[in-house]
């Protein structure tokens, strides 16, 4: 896997200037969010860095990018051979969009054609350095080789080693102006990506070390980062998000992520919010792993030990207690904890989630097998 340069610090802008000089980048594609780019202070800080450069600025107007959004942005880029770098400043959706532009810079295949085949051999990402500057903590997209894209409400993950940003620059003060509900949902995403990575059947010593630190930092600092925005808390949450990203770059995510996508697509629940509520339920569900339904080759006892280690990190002993304390954490960040309040009310709603929530790749990463009927039981017991 390619190496990534990483820097975290308030003076990250100067490091970006140095990096652009090092790769002799004069003509730059800048990809940002809509209002957050200015509101976060990124525009003002990046202005002197880019003053002497040729910059084409593309704005992403949608969270959770759709195929048509990416295609439209690609059509706006003329003279593709003249660029020497891509800079992405924004949340996970913006960084993922920049990765998708890089992935489909050279056509064919088009993104649409590729999602029909998903043959990784067809992908030829542009040889352009990508600098990722997250404005949320976060998706951890700055640390992964994946990009999420939606086609007809279905979620796809485009994956390639060359989509790992060449330089990830985490600048904690950028996180200070993010709206409360975005900070809360993003923070939950980081925390739960740490938890999912820790119990993933693909976990390694290295991934669990990264995930463990991410969980501990996020668990201890998420409320202060979301509700108070102290610089110390933002620093820790930014690091947690990056580390969780590094961990899922090794293991990928598991069942809560798989089930979350239709909740976002069909019910408009923000990604991290849905993942937080689901992870709480899976802390209990996974603890019931047996010899018969264990998907981890290391066996159910091994899985239970890892789950116990997660519980300890959350300050509790059992899966039920972990579920309870995580649900309370969701509420403490101002996020609704009841699915019926979030619009998931009828049996048809539940069936829609079940029908669309079984990304086989993600579900089989979960340590305990889950089928449609256990999923139905799990969801039906929610308020
Ligand atoms: Fe996520």
How many residues appear in the chain?
383
DSSP 295-357: -STT-HHHHHHHHHHHHHHTT-SSHHHHHHHHHHHHHHTT----TTTTT--SHHHHHHHHHH-
Q: Do residue 110 and residue 146 come from a single domain?
A: yes
From CA 339, how far away is CA 354, in angstroms rounded?
A: 14
Q: Do residue 310 and residue 246 come from a single domain?
A: yes
Going from the Cα of 97 to the center of ligand 1, the distance in angstroms, rounded, reads 15
The CATH number that applies at residue 122 is 3.40.50.1970
Going from the Cα of 258 to the center of ligand 1, the distance in angstroms, rounded, reads 10
CB-CB contact of 241 with 213 (8 Å):
no
Q: Do residue 227 and residue 329 come from a single domain?
A: yes
pLDDT at res. 111? 93
Burial 133-153 (b: 16+ CB within 10 A, else e): bbbbbbbbbbbbbbbbbbeee
Q: Do residue 322 and residue 211 come from a single domain?
A: yes
Q: Do residue 149 and residue 188 come from a single domain?
A: no
Going from the Cα of 194 to the center of ligand 1, the distance in angstroms, rounded, reads 10
Q: Structurally, how many domains does the chain consist of?
A: 2
Rg (CA), the chain: 20
Going from the Cα of 332 to the center of ligand 1, the distance in angstroms, rounded, reads 20
Query: Residue 253: which of 191, 181, 317 has the closest Cα?
Result: 191
pLDDT at res. 2? 67
Going from the Cα of 185 to the center of ligand 1, the distance in angstroms, rounded, reads 10
From CA 273, how far away is CA 72, in angstroms rounded?
A: 29
Going from the Cα of 271 to the center of ligand 1, the distance in angstroms, rounded, reads 7
Q: Do residue 60 and residue 147 come from a single domain?
A: yes
Q: Do residue 59 and residue 204 come from a single domain?
A: no
What does the pLDDT look like over 244-294, one tens digit per residue? 999 999 999 999 999 999 999 999 999 999 999 999 999 999 999 999 999
Going from the Cα of 190 to the center of ligand 1, the distance in angstroms, rounded, reads 7
Q: Do residue 10 and residue 86 come from a single domain?
A: yes
CB-CB contact of 147 with 67 (8 Å):
no
Going from the Cα of 51 to the center of ligand 1, the distance in angstroms, rounded, reads 34
Residue list, CB under 5 A from ion ligand 1? 189
Going from the Cα of 18 to the center of ligand 1, the distance in angstroms, rounded, reads 31
Going from the Cα of 196 to the center of ligand 1, the distance in angstroms, rounded, reads 10
Going from the Cα of 88 to the center of ligand 1, the distance in angstroms, rounded, reads 18
Residues of the chain falling short of pLDDT 70:
1-2, 120, 360-361, 382-383
pLDDT at res. 108? 81
| Backbone region of residue 105 per phi and psi (left: phi > 0; alpha: psi in -120 to 50; beta: other values) | alpha
Q: Do residue 207 and residue 309 come from a single domain?
A: yes
Could you say which of 174, 189, 219 is where a domain stops? Answer: 174
Could you say which of 174, 197, 215 is where a domain stops? Answer: 174
Range of the domain at 115: 5-174
CA dihedral 60, 62, 63, 69 (to 10 degrees): -80
Q: Do residue 126 and residue 187 come from a single domain?
A: no
Half-sphere exposure of 1 (CA within 13 A, CB side): 16
Phi, psi of 293 (to 5 degrees): -115, 15
Could you say which of 112, 139, 174 is where a domain stops? Answer: 174
pLDDT at res. 117? 80
Q: Do residue 245 and residue 322 come from a single domain?
A: yes
Going from the Cα of 257 to the center of ligand 1, the distance in angstroms, rounded, reads 6
Q: Do residue 144 and residue 217 come from a single domain?
A: no
Going from the Cα of 261 to the center of ligand 1, the distance in angstroms, rounded, reads 10
pLDDT at res. 3? 82
């Amino acid at each position: 896997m390619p190496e990534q340069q990483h820097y975290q610090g308030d003076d990250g802008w100067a490091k970006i200037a140095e990096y652009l000089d090092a790769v002799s980048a004069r003509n730059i594609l800048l990809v940002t969010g809509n209002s957050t780019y200015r509101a976060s202070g990124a525009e003002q800080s990046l202005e002197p860095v880019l003053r002497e450069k040729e910059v084409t600025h593309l704005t992403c107007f949608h969270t959770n990018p759709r195929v048509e959004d990416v295609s439209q942005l690609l059509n706006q880029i003329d003279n593709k051979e003249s660029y020497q770098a891509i800079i992405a400043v924004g949340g996970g959706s913006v960084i993922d969009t920049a990765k998708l532009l890089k992935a489909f810079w050279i056509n064919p295949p088009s993104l649409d054609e590729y999602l029909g085949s998903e043959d990784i051999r067809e992908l030829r990402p542009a040889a352009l350095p990508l600098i990722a500057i997250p404005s949320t903590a976060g998706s951890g997209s700055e640390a992964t080789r994946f990009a999420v894209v939606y086609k007809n409400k279905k979620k796809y993950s485009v994956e390639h080693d060359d989509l790992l940003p060449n330089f990830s620059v985490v600048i904690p003060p950028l996180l200070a102006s993010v709206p409360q509900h975005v900070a809360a949902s993003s923070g939950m995403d980081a925390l739960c990506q740490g938890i999912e990575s820790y119990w993933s059947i693909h976990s390694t010593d290295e991934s669990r070390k990264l995930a463990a630190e991410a969980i501990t930092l996020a668990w201890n600092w998420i409320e202060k980062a979301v509700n108070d925005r102290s610089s110390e808390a933002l620093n820790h949450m930014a690091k947690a998000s990056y580390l969780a990203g590094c961990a899922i770059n090794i293991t990928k995510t598991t069942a809560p992520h798989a089930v979350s996508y239709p909740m976002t697509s069909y019910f408009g629940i923000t990604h991290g919010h849905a993942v937080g509520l689901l992870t709480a339920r899976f802390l209990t569900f996974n603890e019931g792993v047996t010899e018969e339904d264990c998907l981890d080759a290391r066996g159910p006892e091994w899985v239970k030990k890892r789950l116990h280690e997660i519980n300890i990190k959350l300050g509790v002993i059992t899966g039920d207690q972990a579920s309870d304390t995580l649900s309370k954490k969701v509420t403490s960040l101002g996020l609704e904890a009841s699915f019926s309040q979030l619009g998931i009310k009828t049996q048809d709603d539940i069936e829609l989630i079940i029908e669309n929530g079984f990304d086989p790749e993600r579900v089989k990463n979960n340590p305990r097998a889950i089928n449609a009927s256990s999923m139905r039981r799990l969801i039906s017991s929610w308020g």
